[in-house]
């Protein structure tokens, strides 16, 4: 049995993404002509949700992600409030695809999509070496 661990730099990457989204949303609401009180309420809600995501949800979600490969199947478990476990046998896998955004490339991370006949599963940002190792172990084409 081989277990893959989500690297700590994935948390940093997702925190940067949340901050970028927060700045974009605040910029949009700053440009829209709103009463001052409405803008303050909206900005407060956006900032609260951003802080909640960065300091509570994302660390718990990243820590909850477990990817294991054994007995001819890949098992992916993740979730904060509701834990989901996905089991995909190697025999059902048709295709794998890696996706890398420019920001993820700076961190050396990629997302892996696993495709079966009626099911598509993704594995959040892992190191490129782990992705390559996992694709080789699964025996399906990537990139």
Give per-residue pLDDT as tens, 93-130: 888 899 999 999 999 999 999 998 888 888 989 999 99
What would the pLDDT profile of 122-134 be if each residue is shown by its tens digit?
898 999 999 988 8
* Residue 143 scores a pLDDT above 60: no
Residue 140: which pLDDT band, with cuts at 50, 70 and 90?
A: low
- Whole-number Å distance between alpha carbons of 2 and 5: 10
Task: Domain 1-143: give its CATH code.
Answer: 2.30.29
Q: Summarize the confidence of residues 68-88 as an average pLDDT.
A: 92
Torsion of CA 53, 58, 61, 67, to 10 degrees: 150
CB-based contact 110:126 (threshold 8 Å)? yes
pLDDT of residue 38: 93
Domain residue spans of the chain: 1-143
Backbone region of residue 77 per phi and psi (left: phi > 0; alpha: psi in -120 to 50; beta: other values): beta
């Amino acid at each position: 049995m081989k277990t893959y661990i989500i690297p700590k730099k994935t948390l940093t990457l997702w925190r940067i993404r949340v901050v970028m989204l927060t700045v974009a949303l605040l910029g949009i609401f700053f440009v829209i002509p709103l009463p001052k009180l409405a803008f303050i309420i909206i900005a407060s809600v956006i900032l609260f949700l951003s802080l909640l995501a960065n300091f509570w949800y994302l660390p718990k979600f990243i820590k909850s992600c477990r990817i294991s490969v054994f007995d001819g199947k890949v098992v992916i478990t993740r979730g904060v409030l509701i834990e989901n476990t996905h089991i995909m046998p190697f025999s059902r896998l048709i295709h794998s695809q890696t996706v890398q955004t420019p920001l993820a490339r700076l961190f050396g991370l990629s997302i892996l999509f696993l495709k079966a006949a009626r099911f598509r599963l993704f594995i959040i940002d892992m190191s490129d070496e782990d992705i390559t190792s996992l694709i080789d172990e699964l025996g399906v084409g990537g990139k």
